[in-house]
Structure 1
Amino acid sequence: MTAVSFDIRDKGLADKGRERIQWACSEMPVLQTLEVRFARECPLAGVRMSSCLHITTETANLARILTTGGAELLPCASNLLSTQDNVGFNLSALESLAVDKWRPRPSVDEYLLQDGRRIRLLAEGRLVNLAAAEGHPAAIMDMGFANQALCVAHLWAHQGEFANQVHGVPREVDGEVARLKLEALGLSIDTLTQKQSTYLASWREGT
């Protein structure tokens, strides 16, 4: 891919960023397993792709596994400004209008205005499901990103076989992600018989 220019405010934060990415990775055992497999099999060798998504510690691990699998990846941040501090919300104006401020719980700041009204600001005005880290923890994104990585590999392996329409995730991909998650948790479940599988997928009878 053609090299692109970039502007980094503080390169000194790189090591800290790597630590955070590695911490998120420790919470994503399915992606860890896939990374080992992708390194061995290189299922995405020859793929040139780009992505547009929120740049977080979790999506950094998705990018890493895609490149480990052989893909040439060019990621870019979506909503580049709205996910930065103080941009989506005029925090400086609120600070000047408030007569008091306190934090009733993590990621929640309450401001008292002169007329008695109260404003509760979540995650300092940032994108709450990312900044507050309660909406999409790494352990949950693990399975979603593993699914995406396997879908990309499936598309590449079967290129030219798909009609130009919306396709669901192949059952074998969903099943593989579920199997890897159970394996990571040290759990095992029964294998369904053909009769059980037919009943489970049927709309003709049930409770």
Structure 2
Amino acid sequence: MTTSIRGDFKDASLTPRGKDRIEWAAKDMPVLRLIRERFAKDQPLKGVRMSGCLHITTETANLAITLKAGGADLVLCASNPLSTQDDVAAALVNEYGIPTFAIKGEDEEIYYRHINAVLDHKPNMTMDDGCDLVSTLHSTRTELLPNIIGGMEETTTGVIRLKSMEKGGVLKFPVLAVNDSDTKHMFDNRYGTGQSSIDAIIRATNILLAGRTVVVFGYGWCGRGVASRAHGMGANVIVIEVDPVRALEAVMDGYRVMPGVEAAALGDLFVTVTGDLNVIDKHHLERMKNGAIIANSGHFNDEINIPALEQLAVNKRRVRDFVDEYTYGDGRRVHLLAEGRLVNLSAAEGHPASVMDMSFANQALGAEYMLVHAKEMQPRVYTLPKELDQEIALLKLQAMGITIDTLTPEQEKYLNSWESGT
């Protein structure tokens, strides 16, 4: 482990490999590259002290390089104990000069020590993925709150927590819900989570999905992605939902929908993507068949009642990297992937760079927008303006070599009038 004022990371010798992988991701992030070129020229973030609690991956590294190019004084820590790519953390520090506090597999004590280390930077702006940074600010580091202009939040779970803080009247500065931008949740959550979750499950287990029954808990954008990718690989998909509209949508998309307790006895593979607590609970675990596999693609491992699983088991052993086998008293064996943490970043590399290109373009432009507009904003959760969303989508299309039509003046007039009819 390498520790210094520059950060806390595993091994400096990993730097060259991290640099190569960061550059590999960069080639699929053309929108962020265009933003970085403008940032380097205009310096919109000059003088801003920024603390980021994000997944330390090759894609995040390209965001960090962009923010630094824009003038930000940036420090980073991990937003999940298992999501860090150690070579990337080393390269961020040694190649790009961005202090990074992140070690794959760090325990809870080190995890929060790292969060406090980036808060010691006395930030003016936060960038969070899951709201652990902001919640720490509001609980144990309140002396720093007067310095904060505003923040950005990357993921669904974090937005849920922030809206709870807003509703309770405890949120002390404005936060942009980057996750709620169309060019984030419709692509990152659906295509990114869908592909990367299935990728991670296959890497960890080497199972064949064709012919198996896959149970997806939650049919939001992430759940849609996981279900469609599993179905595309030949799995029989069951969806569990509490929202009647989403449940109906899943039925119309061709999936079986039923209560979780019924699906528990049928499933070969279970994937949670809800952002809620104990969606796989003891009564589900008790009914699972021998050989069942459980994975979580939500931000926190709270989605699976792991203490209940521990109580049901008479033996636990690690059978493969990221696969723990729990043996019940009757001999049944149930397998938990990545300790119940978000499987796509724990057992694989997270989302492909091409989809994170849009998500992190939202983060970069969100930081710029926050700096300009924070004084007009209340301590609430906001979404980015539609115009920025459409700008990112247009840049992505252009990078893909795709052009689209535009409305004629006559068509615009027609759409903005009420006089014309049959």
Same fold? TM cut 0.5? yes
Give the structure 1 partner of residue 60 of structure 2.
59
Give the structure 2 partner of residue 157 of structure 1.
372
**Residues 81 and 39 of structure 1: CA distance in aligned 2, closer, same or farther (over 3 Å):** same
**Residues 197 and 57 of structure 1: CA distance in aligned 2, closer, same or farther (over 3 Å):** farther
Is residue 2:403 matched to residue 1:180? no
Cα distance between partner residues in 2 of 1:74 and 1:132: 25
Structure number with the bigger relative contact order (C-alpha 8 A, sep ≥ 6) is: 1
**Residues 126 and 158 of structure 1: CA distance in aligned 2, closer, same or farther (over 3 Å):** closer
TM-fit CA distance, 1:134: 7.5
SS at match of 1:94: strand
Which amino acid in 2 is paired with 1:163? Q
Alignment of 1:82-121 (within 5 A): 84-85=104-105, 94-95=317-318, 117-120=332-335
Which amino acid in 2 is paired with 1:11? A
Which amino acid in 2 is paired with 1:35? R
Cα distance between partner residues in 2 of 1:86 and 1:113: 27
TM-fit CA distance, 1:128: 1.1
Farther off after superposition, 75-84 or 134-143: 75-84
**Residues 120 and 64 of structure 1: CA distance in aligned 2, closer, same or farther (over 3 Å):** same
TM-score, normalised via structure 2 length: 0.38
Cα distance between partner residues in 1 of 2:80 and 2:349: 20
Is residue 2:412 matched to residue 1:194? yes
Which amino acid in 1 is paired with 2:317? L
Which amino acid in 1 is paired with 2:70? G
Cα distance between partner residues in 2 of 1:108 and 1:77: 19
TM-fit CA distance, 1:109: 6.1
Per-residue CA deviations over 1:53-84 (Å, capped at 9, x if unaligned) read 12111111111111111111111112336763
RMSD: 3.5
TM-fit CA distance, 1:31: 0.8
Cα distance between partner residues in 2 of 1:132 and 1:61: 21
Cα distance between partner residues in 1 of 2:334 and 2:24: 34
SS at match of 2:39: helix
Per-residue CA deviations over 1:138-176 (Å, capped at 9, x if unaligned) read 111110110111111112123422233222211221111
Contact 1:47 1:71 in 2 (8 A): yes
Give the structure 1 partner of residue 5 of structure 2.
4
Aligned positions, number: 186
Per-residue CA deviations over 1:9-37 (Å, capped at 9, x if unaligned) read 32110110111111111121111111111
Which amino acid in 2 is paired with 1:164? P
**Residues 9 and 131 of structure 1: CA distance in aligned 2, closer, same or farther (over 3 Å):** closer
Farther off after superposition, 5-14 or 74-83: 74-83
Cα distance between partner residues in 2 of 1:86 and 1:71: 27
Unaligned runs of 5+ in 1: 96-100, 200-207
TM-score, normalised via structure 1 length: 0.72
**Residues 160 and 16 of structure 1: CA distance in aligned 2, closer, same or farther (over 3 Å):** same
**Residues 79 and 125 of structure 1: CA distance in aligned 2, closer, same or farther (over 3 Å):** same
SS at match of 2:376: coil
Alignment of 1:120-139 (within 5 A): 120=335, 122=337, 127-133=342-348, 136-139=351-354
Contact 1:85 1:125 in 2 (8 A): no
SS at match of 2:53: strand
**Residues 17 and 124 of structure 1: CA distance in aligned 2, closer, same or farther (over 3 Å):** farther
Which amino acid in 2 is paired with 1:169? L
Give the structure 2 partner of residue 204 of structure 1.
none
